[in-house]
Structure 1
Amino acid sequence: MRVNQKEFYSHKLRYMVRSAIEKDAKNLSEVRLEIDGETENLDREKGEDYIDESGFRQIIEDDTKNDSNLFLVAEVDERIVGFSRCEGNKLKRTSHKVEFGVCVLKEFWGYGIGKSLLKESIHWADSNEIKKITLNVLETNDKAIALYKKYGFEAEGILKKDKLLSDGNYHNTVLMGRFNG
């Protein structure tokens, strides 16, 4: 599904949030690879589960056609600096929910880009009969957990010792959900 483009200003930075389009595919492949190497808050290390340009083109095409999917990008001066996805499914018993994921280049942390992607996704979900948004977040990502709670997400469970990080320790993943109904 597509949404209207919106413009945001934060700390003298102007950025746009809009639906991903086919011409974004190459840039998204590069940005995702870069982001994966910048933080351990995501599931992947740099280069793992790589999605090339044609893979992103297919995801964008599928998400555009599917009413229960939303693929957003954040742009600064026509450069993609982050993106988010809501992915639903067609199974009747779970068709009321989507899973949310977001990532932003480290250079652009602190400008509210992730928050804007989240807010636009919530608005889309609430406007399109999506009753529940779920997400997974690393227990050490305090800023993200606080942001999600601020927007109505609750911890629903913990996956214990779910991720092995570079410190050699296993860390928990917090399962969060926001129900609108």
Structure 2
Amino acid sequence: MELTDKLEFDHDDREDIYEYVESNGATRPEKIRKALTMGERAFGHHTAILRRDGVLEEVDGKLRIAFDTGTEEEFQTDDVEFIIRQAREEDLTGLVGAIRQAIGGGEYVDAETVADIVDSEGVLLRHNELESRIFFVACVNDEVVGWVHLKHPEQEKLSHTAELTLGVLEEYRGNDIGSHLLERGLEWAASKGFEKIYNSVPASNEAAIEFLDSRGWKEEARRRNHYKLNGKYVDEVMMAKQL
């Protein structure tokens, strides 16, 4: 299933199964069946169709939302070896922790919001009539050390856009992990037909602005005194890149 696909169900039971998995994350089939008070035969039939159609997948005995994940890429620098891949539901705790550690200074408000939402919902992947989200992660020895997140509003007038957040743990910066994550996110967005990617950061986050500017992002607008960080008013810098 691709993030930009419109989900249409031709049976209410299949929609109920999907919505349960979306709301609760990867779950054992029997738990879903009992929660929906669905007969074994009917449940087996509908989950088989959802799996066949690439809407759900079963991994380690649990049903979860299926996405077109792409390949797992390996990279090596003089100091570190890392892989970049699409995030899985089981990455949720490590990913939220990495985001919060990476933004420790509180100068990446959008990323902090992403971490709070994912943590409170307890669901990493999201794909419904309101919005969809996907993450790619950089991992060292199976530990998440960086991420790129894309959120896509399902409203027709904004269907060509996606919001991106990106970050790397401080001790792993300087190894091009952020550059590779950004490239992976933009390649994925372009392959799905997005035309514009945007990101907003406080003006005080000069490192993030410089990073994006050096990679072809442009400042589109600025909201004066939009944030209040540590008692001081700070502008919001709204940056974007055309694909």
Sort the TM-score into its range (normalised by shorter chain).
Answer: 0.7 to 0.9
| Cα drift, residue 51 of structure 1 | 4.3
Partners of 2:206 and 2:101 lie apart in 1 by 22
Contact 1:33–1:50 (Cα < 8 Å) also in 2: no
**Aligned-pair identity (%):** 26
Aligned to 1:179: 242
Q: Offset at 1:154? A: 0.8
Could you say if the C-alpha distance between residues 11 and 139 of structure 1 is closer, same or farther in structure 2, counting changes exceeding 3 Å?
Answer: farther
CA contact (8 A) 1:70 1:121 kept: no
Q: CA deviation at 1:107?
A: 1.8
Match of 2:95 in 1: 28
* TM-score of the aligned structures, taking structure 2 as reference length: 0.63
Rg comparison, structure with higher value:
2
Query: What CA distance in whole angstroms lies between the structure 1 residues aligned with 2:209 and 2:118?
Result: 27
From the superposition, tell whether residues 144 and 29 of structure 1 become closer, same or farther in structure 2 (CA, over 3 Å): closer
SS across alignment from 1:33? helix
Asked if structure 2 preserves the Cα contact closer than 8 Å seen for 1:69 and 1:98, the reply is no
The C-alpha deviation readout for 1:110-131, integer Å capped at 9, x for no partner, is: 2222221111111111222110
Other-structure match for 1:124: 188
Aligned counterparts of 2:224 and 2:70: Cα–Cα separation in 1: 37
1:59 and 2:124 correspond: yes
Out of 211, 214, 236, the residue aligned to residue 150 of structure 1 is 214
Distance 1:143 1:11, change over 3 A: farther
Q: CA deviation at 1:16?
A: 0.9
In the alignment, structure 2 segments of 5+ residues that lack a partner are 1-66
Supply the AA of the counterpart residue of 2:105. Answer: T
Q: Which residue of 1 aligns with 2:77?
A: 10
Stretches (4+) displaced over 6 A: none
Deviation of 1:156 after TM superposition, in Å, equals 0.4
Q: Which has the higher contact order (CA 8 A, sep 6+)?
A: 1
1:102 to partner: Cα distance: 1.2
**1:73 is matched with which residue: 132, 137, 145?**
137
Unaligned runs of at least 5 residues, structure 1: none
Counterpart Cα distance in 1 of 2:183 and 2:131: 18
SS at match of 2:193: coil
Q: 1:138 aligns to what?
A: 202
Q: TM-score, normalised by structure 1?
A: 0.82
Residue 27 of structure 2 corresponds to which residue in structure 1?
A: none
